[in-house]
Amino acid sequence: MNIGFIGLGNMGAPMAANLAAAGHNVVGFDTVDVTVEGVSMVTSAADAVADADVVITMLPNGDILRAVAAQIIPAMKTGAVLLDCSTVDVESARAVAADADAAGLLPLDAPVSGGIGGASAGTLTFMVGGSDTAYDTALPLFDIMGQKAVHCGASGNGQAAKICNNMILGVTMIATCEAFALADKLGLDRQAMFDVVSTSSGYSWSMNAYCPAPGVGPQSPADNSYQPGFAAELMLKDLRLSQQAAQAVDADTPLGQSATDLYTTFVEDEDGKGKDFSAMLPRFETRRRT
């Protein structure tokens, strides 16, 4: 396929490289100077998309996505797929999809989980919103860039799935960290705490697969001085998107709001920026009940 790829940052660059390595013709555009193996770089977004059967965007936020979409939608071939893999607000995803649809394009929102490691290894999970026709066209590309794709329904539903998942993740990580800090103060050994909880009803991905306590459970960023991993500021971005969406549809999400408030404090007022999101545990360790 001819693929246009816009936004070749930490995630986009390895995704584009994997598509090129699989034999696709990938033309890339980014506002900063980047070199990606196998990808021909051009100097405008419109040039990157003119001949593309599928255009992939991997951009920082919804405003940038809207601005890029306004440039590329008129330049794309009728019937081409516009596949946005960025994590953005549901409203922006749906607005861009409506514009693309009106222009005779096939829009998909397909945010990912799996991080930079998953992007490099081609093991991302895609959560996809859009039509069956668009999904079927993009499926071979999901197979190259990822290990799993789930078609979640109409446009915007990929983003909805992503922020609901990550709201659970933020809440369970905080719950796991505060429980470890409580266990410490109660004199419970961390290994014993892990052995019990990981096989009891308090288990979760945060405890079992990404344990925030160093030296306990499987290897995780806690074993590497809380180097990310999944940075606290990216967790905060997704939690804010979850609360923006909750506000828009009048959903009551008190724990999602609490998690957002805690990560805001951690990232903006404390030393959380640049640390893995599981560094909530050393934060709780040093605190007392207020």
Query: What residues are labeled active site?
Result: 162
Q: How many residues bind ligand NAD (CB under 6 A)?
A: 25
Could you tell me what percentage of the chain is helix, strand and coil, using 3-state DSSP and rounding each to the nearest 5? 50, 15, 35
Distance CA(112)–CA(134), nearest Å, equals 17
- Which CB atom, from 36 or from 262, has the smaller least distance to ligand NAD? 36
User: 3-class SS at 153?
Assistant: strand
Distance CA(194)–CA(148), nearest Å, equals 29
Q: How far is the CB of 20 from ligand NAD (least distance, A)?
A: 17
For residue 84, the surrounding DSSP H or E stretch is strand 81-84
Residue facing ligand NAD at closest CB distance: 9
- Which CB atom, from 73 or from 181, has the smaller least distance to ligand NAD? 73
Question: Is 75 a binder of ligand NAD (CB under 6 A)?
Answer: no
- Which CB atom, from 114 or from 212, has the smaller least distance to ligand NAD? 114
Q: What are phi and psi of 25, to 5 degrees?
A: -90, 105
Return the axis-axis angle of helices 157-185 and 232-249, rounded to nearest 10°: 120
Question: Is 7 a binder of ligand NAD (CB under 6 A)?
Answer: yes
Question: Is 163 a binder of ligand NAD (CB under 6 A)?
Answer: no
Question: Is 116 a binder of ligand NAD (CB under 6 A)?
Answer: yes
Residues in 77-106 at the binding interface with ligand NAD, rule: CB under 6 A: 86-87
Question: Is 11 a binder of ligand NAD (CB under 6 A)?
Answer: yes
Q: How far is the CB of 283 from ligand NAD (least distance, A)?
A: 21
Question: Is 9 a binder of ligand NAD (CB under 6 A)?
Answer: yes
Question: Is 64 a binder of ligand NAD (CB under 6 A)?
Answer: yes
Question: Is 8 a binder of ligand NAD (CB under 6 A)?
Answer: yes
Residues 6+ apart with CB under 8 A from 220: 209, 210, 211, 212, 229, 278
Strand partners, 148: 125
- The correct pick among 3, 5, 12, 18 for binding ligand NAD (CB under 6 A) is 12
Q: Which amino acid is at 45?
A: A
H-state helical runs in the chain: 12-21, 45-49, 62-72, 90-102, 115-121, 132-145, 157-185, 190-197, 205-208, 232-249, 254-264, 280-285
- Which CB atom, from 67 or from 154, has the smaller least distance to ligand NAD? 67
Which one of 74-82, 90-98, 110-118, 254-262 is the stretch in contact with ligand NAD (CB under 6 A)?
110-118
- Which CB atom, from 165 or from 198, has the smaller least distance to ligand NAD? 165
Judged by the rule CB under 6 A, the positions of this chain that interact with ligand NAD are 6-12, 29-32, 45, 58-60, 64, 67-68, 86-87, 112, 115-116, 234, 237
